[in-house]
Chains A and B, each alone.
Chain A
């Protein structure tokens, strides 16, 4: 016997986790190439505002998603030009990018406060989508959810099974060596940064188109930072990142349900749980210091100059 609330609760977990999956997978690709972009929150919120603005103006979900990704990509391009071409400090530039994104999105979004968007259409296959739990979970999601899962599979395949993935990892491990054998270090990094930006933009687009289809300032509410933490949590592996995102989303939703059932546990403690779980898992996977160090890209955050 399956309780009535279980299926919708699981669906809610998927919704809560999807923006994190997008942003974390994008950032994994960026960090694997040796670049630390702390501007995820800024790129996400720009994706959110761009997608919402285009969605409301044109009524087209496809265009909205495209522009969400594009907005994230443009912000990432600024980051790439500053850190890769002009060799600005990555940490400082990333932080500036977040502040910039939050401010600019508020400015752009001003005209869209109070508008609503109908949300994204969900896949609905007769009969199959009505199977208990599995039906709606596997066959009843919207397009972006499938895309987030596909992006994880793509990132895993690209990084571990393709020649360009190998080059990207080489650039992230030791950019001098990669340069010496003729790989275009900055080009590879720029591509990774742009990919990361468009993924963060998609995560933001999911927030403003499907999760809570509206625009309010600061609506990412720190999810970009959680995505950054998930990258370390996942020890830079896309498969673990999706696991981490769903674990995080799952505990967040679970604690809300526990409260609704009237269980007497402090909600402050419950709100802390997802973060606590993240730390615990982090401790577990990093208890072997050497193995943990091995998974972190060795050139992470270092600027590269061909003449050095």
Chain B
């Protein structure tokens, strides 16, 4: 082999392995033996991410705690989207799982495909919209948490600039940005929001760099829709405020951490596992918020004034009893066009397909 072709091969291998290195190992233990209900989990990240996957794994542990030796749980972490995920889900189904949770949007089609092959196994797919007789979907109304966080941010900012480290321009993320700015402007009309997209769910270095850029441009409250605690840590170091994502990130910035929007899957996971046990499980769609406990707020920072905490708690309780909605009209888009009329609320359909910024967001959504 000559030099240049060797270099070529080397570079090709570099690319292939960069893809392959994210492939996790097979199911960690064989399921099915002793009449126990077997529950499988497929995770997109490492359980040590301290964000999205960490919370799903906490849900798995809650099942074990609640149902003890009546269940057996198995998980596979770092499963990439595509054919690999179909293989992993199929493996879990064929090795005797009774219930399988696939915990990321990208597993939607593989889950449906495998579910067709195993009609006796129940499937639960997070954040998707395709269902079948044995495939249910579920997700959290995280925007309710963003509403509460936005109120606090609007009150706490001195520079009237909120920084937002975002991942990908999908409705879920855009909805969070809009909910934040609507809430913040309701208590402080001068607030604006700066968004930086890092095109990744998990890259601590890049998330930290984006956080630094936002702070350098004047942001003094930092939101994130990425999974690592790096932005909270940067906020702590620079002496500004931050909000945790998916799980309580207090320990990474005890002074900076205002609160966090926690995804609490435990009640849902335990309920659905019990339903399979009692043979009452049916397919359907669950979009739970504060009311069902799927979304929670982490403890508020002691530095937040009492009246602001009261305001936040009032909104949270209002959302639970239905008197408050994060997308209460009138809502205008960036061009000033009214998209939700006064006295009305955004429908779930509009929320699920949200692809526009509301008034007050700097810049435009990447196409």
Residues of A near any B CB (own CB < 8 A): 4-5, 8-9, 12, 15-16, 36, 38, 41, 91, 95, 98-99, 102, 106, 109-110, 113-116, 119, 207, 211-214, 216-219, 221-223, 225, 228-229, 232, 252-253, 256-257, 259-264, 266-268, 271, 293, 296, 298, 300-301
In the complex, what distance in Å separates the CA atom of A211 from the CA atom of B204? 9
What residues of A have a CB within 8 angstroms of the CB of B252 in the complex? 114, 116, 214
Contact A116 B199 (CB under 8 A): no
Contact A221 B206 (CB under 8 A): yes
Asked if A260 meets B48 with Cβ closer than 8 Å, knowing A267-B197, A267-B199, the reply is: no
Is residue B9 contacting chain A, with contact meaning CB distance below 8 A?
yes
Q: Distance (Å) between the CB of B312 and the closest chain A CB?
A: 25
User: Which listed residue, B49, B194, B199, touches A268 by the CB 8 Å rule?
Assistant: B199
What residues of B have a CB within 8 angstroms of the CB of A259 in the complex? 195-197, 213, 363
Name the residue of chain A whose CB is nearest to the CB of B166: A267
User: Which one of B11-19, B30-38, B122-130, B323-331 contacts A?
Assistant: B11-19
Asked if A229 meets B46 with Cβ closer than 8 Å, knowing A259-B195, A259-B196, A271-B199, the reply is: no
Q: Distance (Å) between the CB of B105 and the closest chain A CB?
A: 18
Contact A253 B213 (CB under 8 A): yes
What residues of A have a CB within 8 angstroms of the CB of B362 in the complex? 262
User: Which listed residue, A98, A253, A267, touches B366 by the CB 8 Å rule?
Assistant: A267
In the complex, what distance in Å separates the CA atom of A268 from the CA atom of B168? 9
Is residue B4 contacting chain A, with contact meaning CB distance below 8 A?
yes
Is residue B149 contacting chain A, with contact meaning CB distance below 8 A?
no
Contact B10 A12 (CB under 8 A): no
Contact A116 B233 (CB under 8 A): yes
In the complex, what distance in Å separates the CA atom of A210 from the CA atom of B207? 14
In the complex, what distance in Å separates the CA atom of A213 from the CA atom of B234? 9
| Chain B positions 265-314 with a Cβ under 8 Å from a chain A Cβ | none
Contact A221 B204 (CB under 8 A): yes
Contact B209 A12 (CB under 8 A): yes
Q: List 12 A-B contacts (CB under 8 A).
A: A41-B21, A119-B237, A212-B204, A212-B233, A214-B204, A216-B50, A217-B46, A219-B205, A225-B17, A256-B209, A267-B199, A296-B7
Is residue B245 contacting chain A, with contact meaning CB distance below 8 A?
no
Instruction: Produce 1/0 per residue, B152-179, CB < 8 A to A.
Output: 0000000000010000010000000000
Further 8 A-B residue pairs, CB within 8 A, beyond A5-B217, A106-B48, A232-B11: A12-B212, A91-B9, A102-B21, A116-B233, A221-B206, A257-B217, A260-B217, A262-B194
Asked if A300 meets B6 with Cβ closer than 8 Å, knowing A256-B196, A259-B196, the reply is: yes
Q: Distance (Å) between the CB of A274 and the closest chain B CB?
A: 11
What residues of B have a CB within 8 angstroms of the CB of A268 in the complex? 199, 366
Q: Distance (Å) between the CB of B116 and the closest chain A CB?
A: 33
Is residue B208 contacting chain A, with contact meaning CB distance below 8 A?
yes
In the complex, what distance in Å separates the CA atom of A214 from the CA atom of B249? 12
Q: Distance (Å) between the CB of B75 and the closest chain A CB?
A: 14
What residues of A have a CB within 8 angstroms of the CB of B212 in the complex? 8, 12
Q: Distance (Å) between the CB of A34 and the closest chain B CB?
A: 11
| Chain B positions 169-195 with a Cβ under 8 Å from a chain A Cβ | 169, 194-195
Asked if A4 meets B204 with Cβ closer than 8 Å, knowing A259-B196, A259-B197, A264-B364, the reply is: no
User: Which listed residue, B163, B194, B213, touches A12 by the CB 8 Å rule?
Assistant: B213
Name the residue of chain B whose CB is nearest to the CB of A292: B4
Contact A212 B18 (CB under 8 A): no
- Give 5 nearest A-B pairs by CB, closest first: A262-B363, A267-B197, A217-B46, A5-B216, A256-B213
Is residue B337 contacting chain A, with contact meaning CB distance below 8 A?
no
Contact A221 B205 (CB under 8 A): yes
What residues of B have a CB within 8 angstroms of the CB of A213 in the complex? 233
Contact A38 B14 (CB under 8 A): yes
Most buried by B among A9, A217, A253: A217
Most buried by A among B205, B228, B230: B205
What residues of B have a CB within 8 angstroms of the CB of A267 in the complex? 169, 196-199, 366
Asked if A221 meets B217 with Cβ closer than 8 Å, knowing A229-B11, A253-B209, A293-B3, the reply is: no
| Chain B positions 247-261 with a Cβ under 8 Å from a chain A Cβ | 251-252
In the complex, what distance in Å separates the CA atom of A38 from the CA atom of B22? 16
In the complex, what distance in Å separates the CA atom of A259 from the CA atom of B195? 7
Contact A293 B205 (CB under 8 A): no
Q: Distance (Å) between the CB of B305 and the closest chain A CB?
A: 27
In the complex, what distance in Å separates the CA atom of A216 from the CA atom of B252? 12
Name the residue of chain A whose CB is nearest to the CB of B207: A212
In the complex, what distance in Å separates the CA atom of A219 from the CA atom of B262? 22
In the complex, what distance in Å separates the CA atom of A207 from the CA atom of B206? 11
What residues of A have a CB within 8 angstroms of the CB of B344 in the complex? none
User: Which listed residue, A211, A219, A225, A262, touches B14 by the CB 8 Å rule?
Assistant: A225
Contact B7 A113 (CB under 8 A): no
User: Which listed residue, A36, A41, A212, A257, touches B205 by the CB 8 Å rule?
Assistant: A212
What residues of A have a CB within 8 angstroms of the CB of B46 in the complex? 106, 216-218
Contact A222 B18 (CB under 8 A): yes
Contact A301 B17 (CB under 8 A): no
What residues of B have a CB within 8 angstroms of the CB of A106 in the complex? 46, 48
Contact B17 A95 (CB under 8 A): yes
What residues of B have a CB within 8 angstroms of the CB of A15 in the complex? 209
Is residue B367 contacting chain A, with contact meaning CB distance below 8 A?
yes
Contact A219 B204 (CB under 8 A): yes
What residues of A have a CB within 8 angstroms of the CB of B215 in the complex? 8
| Chain B positions 100-157 with a Cβ under 8 Å from a chain A Cβ | none
Q: Distance (Å) between the CB of B208 and the closest chain A CB?
A: 5
What residues of B have a CB within 8 angstroms of the CB of A114 in the complex? 50, 251-252
In the complex, what distance in Å separates the CA atom of A91 from the CA atom of B228? 32
In the complex, what distance in Å separates the CA atom of A22 from the CA atom of B229? 25
Q: Distance (Å) between the CB of A223 and the closest chain B CB?
A: 7
What residues of B have a CB within 8 angstroms of the CB of A256 in the complex? 196, 198, 209-210, 213
In the complex, what distance in Å separates the CA atom of A260 from the CA atom of B362? 8
| Chain B positions 34-79 with a Cβ under 8 Å from a chain A Cβ | 46, 48-50, 78
